[in-house]
Amino acid sequence: MSDHLDPDAALMLRVKQGDRTAFEALVEKYKQPVMNVVYRTLRDATEAEDLAQHVFLQVYKSAHRYEVSAKFSTWIFTIARNLCLNEIRRRSRHPADSLDQTGPDDDQPIRQVEDRKSFSPPDALLQGELEQKIEAALAELPEKQRTALLLCREDELSYEEIADVLGCSLSATKSLIHRARETLKQLLKPYLRTGAWREAEK
């Protein structure tokens, strides 16, 4: 049985026994994927960092409730989403708290962009602009559609597992992703028409 155990689940079993090295290994592996989802949900780097920390603390504190039958990635993204939803609810009750939030329409770039690819200066400009437009379009999506789309980027998760995280059926999940993508295509239409996609891809 343990031979077929998901490596993350095996680490979680060790965390259950209080093994902090195993916990650190999980933090190391999941910090970026969790941060990616949290940051694009909250749109505030500092709050996202705090909340991502809470996600991992929650993982440790809830380790005794973890069932090996559940895939770890599904479990941690569920925790991350629940904490994000709590934060969004808290913001809606105390709107003044999020005044310092960086909006997509601010003059400043959303953050320092660390390109995965190296682009020549004009391409980099185009790519940077495209990224900003995509980030802004993502921000406009309803929470569930955005989360579905962001989780779809994670290779770790199948459609079934994304459905588990969102707490809805497989068909509903695919429908959420489809609608999110349709909205993005609609919002980014000018770039599609000018062929900027292709230019940036080259």
Partner 1 sequence: MNESTESQLRQTVWRRKLSPEEETRLQSLLSAHPEKQRDFEQETALTEQLRQLPDAPLPSNFSAQVMQALELELARQERAGQAGNGWLFWFRRFAPRLAPVTLALIVGAFGFQQYRSHHRTQAVRSVAAVFSNPYAASPEVFEDFEVIQHLPSVTDEELLAALQ
Cβ closest to partner 1, residue 3 vs residue 120? 120
38 binds partner 1 (CB under 8 A): yes
User: Where does this chain touch partner 1 (CB under 8 A) — which range of 28-36, 64-72, 73-81, 87-95?
Assistant: 28-36
> How far does Cα 14 stand from its chain's mean position?
26
Distances (CA, A) of 25 to 21, 28, 76, 111, 185: 6, 5, 14, 27, 38
Cβ closest to partner 1, residue 9 vs residue 56? 56
Please tell me the distance from the alpha carbon of residue 61 to that of residue 18, in angstroms, as a whole number.
10
115 binds partner 1 (CB under 8 A): yes
Please tell me the distance from the alpha carbon of residue 68 to that of residue 51, in angstroms, as a whole number.
25
Cβ 196 vs Cβ 126: under 8 Å: yes
CA 23-9-53 angle, to 5 degrees, is 35
The one among 10, 14, 16, 49 contacting partner 1 by CB under 8 A: 49
Cβ closest to partner 1, residue 5 vs residue 62? 62
53 binds partner 1 (CB under 8 A): yes
Cβ closest to partner 1, residue 39 vs residue 72? 39
27 binds partner 1 (CB under 8 A): yes
111 binds partner 1 (CB under 8 A): yes
x-or-dash pattern for partner 1, window 55-84, by CB under 8 A? -xx--xx-----------------------
